């Protein structure tokens, strides 16, 4: 019941704001007083002022470790400077009684290639097992249901320098070197060469490329605008951790790949598939491995597990159930033509199948945590009926195959969906 009250609170916030943002926004917002531009800015997660655009991601959130987390942050806009930007935030967690913050900024090196040199210092939390692409840019959603139930975080204090560079509008790159001091918030030890690490330091270099060969664009007054959002799209990232460089403890490397393909059948129906691949090699602690993006709460009954479905998350996979040092996932969604019941009521059926496979070497190195691997292949399928009421819908997902559970109701995930666009 406690979770249901939390979901209700966040639903009310979502209704009040009445907007959902796109999955990512790689462009910096521009200050505007026009109402339509203002709504677009808010939909992208910014509230613009004369010189500073407030980032709405930092206003209020909730998770199991911090409880409520609130603060302020944002980025300077073109009225402040077209060649320099400040990008910072500060937040406070009411359960862990701790401030977190980021101090950052960037310098424009080349306007034509959109080359920016960025520096930052961050003291915050990160989800264990998460893996992000540098080129994805920022993400924003007024309501982040998965965040409510994440149980494994690690603290990190990170100094980073990065370079954004656009080879062409179809090929963008980002390179980063980051030094981090990492401490898990849970009981965990990584055993290597008879040494037990409950905190550690890393020095990691990353190179990421995002290639969209079928996107069409035009340039007007020096601004590049996408005219056709073509598919497939490809993202590749290589990471290397260097032992003994600036006191780093481990040598390991990671290779991450993702491709997204969309097949449009007609103006009302399409199929979209997302294939992801991750490989970690070397002495890699749990914090930097892969969890396959689970989204099921570790509760006893279906009603206690009732929450909101994610975009590409595995809805029947329990948090912290699986970890891998090599894995692959495939998510396929088929959007059926909406049911035209009235001009204001057009629910849409979505058919979904998800598959994940993975494994891990040296499981015994990870002490005080219990998890399985995905070596036998994990499968779930289900349906969504979206836009039933004010953007909300229903989702039903069923877990089957090698990891089907003995108790039948543990294989079922019943959830809300939330889809609103400006």
Q: What are the residue ranges spanned by the domains of the chain?
A: 2-418
Mean pLDDT of the chain: 87
Tokens of 420: 């609103």
Residue 159 predicted with pLDDT over 90:
yes
Q: Which of 45-59, 329-343, 364-378 has the lowest mean pLDDT?
A: 45-59
Question: Which pLDDT score is estimated for 148?
Answer: 77
Beta strand pairing call for 294-296 and 314-318: parallel
Question: Which pLDDT score is estimated for 306?
Answer: 81
Q: Which of 72-81, 174-183, 212-221, 275-284 has the lowest mean pLDDT?
A: 212-221
Measure the CA–CA gap between 415 and 57, rounded to whole angstroms: 24
Residue 255 predicted with pLDDT over 70:
yes
Measure the CA–CA gap between 246 and 159, rounded to whole angstroms: 12
* pLDDT top residue among 389 and 84: 84
Measure the CA–CA gap between 174 and 328, rounded to whole angstroms: 23
Average of per-residue pLDDT across 157-182: 96
CB of 284 closer than 8 Å to CB of 349: no
Calculate what percentage of the chain has a pLDDT beyond 90.
68
Measure the CA–CA gap between 228 and 218, rounded to whole angstroms: 10
* pLDDT top residue among 278 and 19: 278
Of the ranges 146-155, 383-392, 397-406, the best mean pLDDT one: 397-406
With vertex at residue 232, the alpha carbon angle to CA 229 and CA 237, rounded to the nearest 5 degrees, is 110
The H helix count followed by the E strand count for the chain is 2, 25
The DSSP element (H or E) to which 9 belongs, if any, is: helix 2-17
CA Rg value for the chain: 22
What residue ranges in 360-420 does DSSP mark as E strands? 366-367, 378-389, 392-400, 412-418
Calculate what percentage of the chain has a pLDDT beyond 70.
88
Average of per-residue pLDDT across 31-44: 65
Q: Which of 114-128, 135-149, 255-269 has the lowest mean pLDDT?
A: 135-149
Buried b (16+ CB within 10 A) or exposed e, 94-114: eebebebebebbbeeeeeeeb
Question: Which pLDDT score is estimated for 23?
Answer: 39
Chain position carrying tokens 């990353």: 206
* Long-range Cβ contact pairs of 334-342 (< 8 A, separation 24 or more): 334/269, 334/270, 334/271, 335/269, 335/270, 335/271, 335/272, 336/269, 337/266, 337/268, 337/269, 338/268, 338/387
* pLDDT top residue among 338 and 17: 338
Average of per-residue pLDDT across 193-202: 95
Measure the CA–CA gap between 136 and 24, rounded to whole angstroms: 7
Q: How far apart are the first and last CA of the chain?
A: 32
Q: How confident is the model at residue 312 (pLDDT cuts 50, 70, 90)?
A: confident
Question: Which pLDDT score is estimated for 399?
Answer: 97
Residue 1 predicted with pLDDT over 60:
no
Residue 14 predicted with pLDDT over 60:
no
Residues sharing a CB contact under 8 Å with residue 375, sequence separation 6 or more, in sequence order:
357, 358, 359
Average of per-residue pLDDT across 138-158: 80
Residues sharing a CB contact under 8 Å with residue 422, sequence separation 6 or more, in sequence order:
19, 20, 39, 40, 43
The DSSP element (H or E) to which 125 belongs, if any, is: strand 115-127
Which of 90, 64, 66, 86 is closest to 77 using CA atoms?
Answer: 86
Question: Which pLDDT score is estimated for 131?
Answer: 85
CATH number of the domain located at residue range(s) 2-418 in this protein: 2.40.160.50
């Amino acid at each position: 019941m406690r979770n249901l009250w939390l979901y209700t609170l966040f639903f009310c916030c979502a209704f009040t704001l009445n907007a959902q943002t796109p999955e990512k926004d790689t462009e910096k917002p521009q200050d505007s007083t026009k109402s339509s531009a203002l709504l677009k800015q808010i939909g992208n997660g910014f509230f613009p002022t004369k010189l500073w655009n407030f980032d709405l991601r930092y206003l209020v959130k909730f998770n199991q470790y911090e409880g409520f987390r609130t603060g302020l942050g944002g980025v300077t806009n073109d009225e402040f400077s077209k060649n320099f930007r400040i990008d910072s935030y500060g937040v406070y967690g009411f359960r862990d009684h701790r401030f977190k913050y980021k101090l950052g900024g960037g310098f424009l090196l080349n306007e034509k290639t959109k080359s920016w040199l960025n520096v930052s210092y961050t003291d915050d939390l990160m989800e264990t097992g998460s893996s992000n692409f540098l080129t994805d840019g920022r993400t924003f959603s007024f309501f982040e249901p998965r965040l409510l139930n994440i149980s494994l975080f690690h603290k990190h204090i990170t100094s980073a320098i990065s370079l954004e560079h656009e080879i062409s509008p179809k090929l963008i790159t980002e390179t980063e070197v980051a030094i981090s001091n990492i401490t898990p918030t849970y009981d965990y030890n990584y055993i290597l060469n008879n040494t037990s690490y409950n905190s550690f330091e890393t020095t990691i270099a990353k190179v990421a490329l995002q290639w969209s060969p079928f996107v069409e664009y035009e340039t007007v007054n020096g601004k590049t605008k996408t005219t056709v959002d073509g598919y497939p799209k490809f993202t590749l990232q290589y990471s290397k951790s260097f032992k003994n460089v600036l006191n780093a403890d481990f040598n390991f490397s990671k290779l991450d790949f993702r491709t997204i393909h969309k097949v449009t059948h007609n103006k009302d129906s399409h199929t979209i598939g997302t294939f992801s691949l991750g490989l970690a090699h070397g002495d890699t602690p749990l914090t930097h491995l892969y969890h396959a993006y689970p989204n099921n709460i570790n509760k006893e009954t279906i009603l206690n597990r009732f929450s909101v479905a994610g975009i590409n998350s595995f809805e029947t996979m329990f948090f912290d159930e699986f970890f891998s040092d090599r894995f692959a996932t495939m998510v396929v969604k088929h959007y059926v033509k909406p049911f035209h019941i009235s001009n204001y009521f057009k629910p849409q059926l979505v058919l979904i199948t998800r598959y994940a496979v993975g494994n891990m070497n040296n499981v015994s190195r990870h002490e005080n945590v219990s998890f399985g691997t995905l070596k036998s292949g994990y499968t779930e399928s289900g349906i969504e009926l979206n836009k039933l009421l004010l953007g909300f819908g229903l989702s039903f997902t069923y877990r089957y195959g090698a990891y089907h559970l003995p108790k039948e109701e543990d294989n079922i995930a019943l959830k809300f969906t939330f889809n609103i666009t400006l």
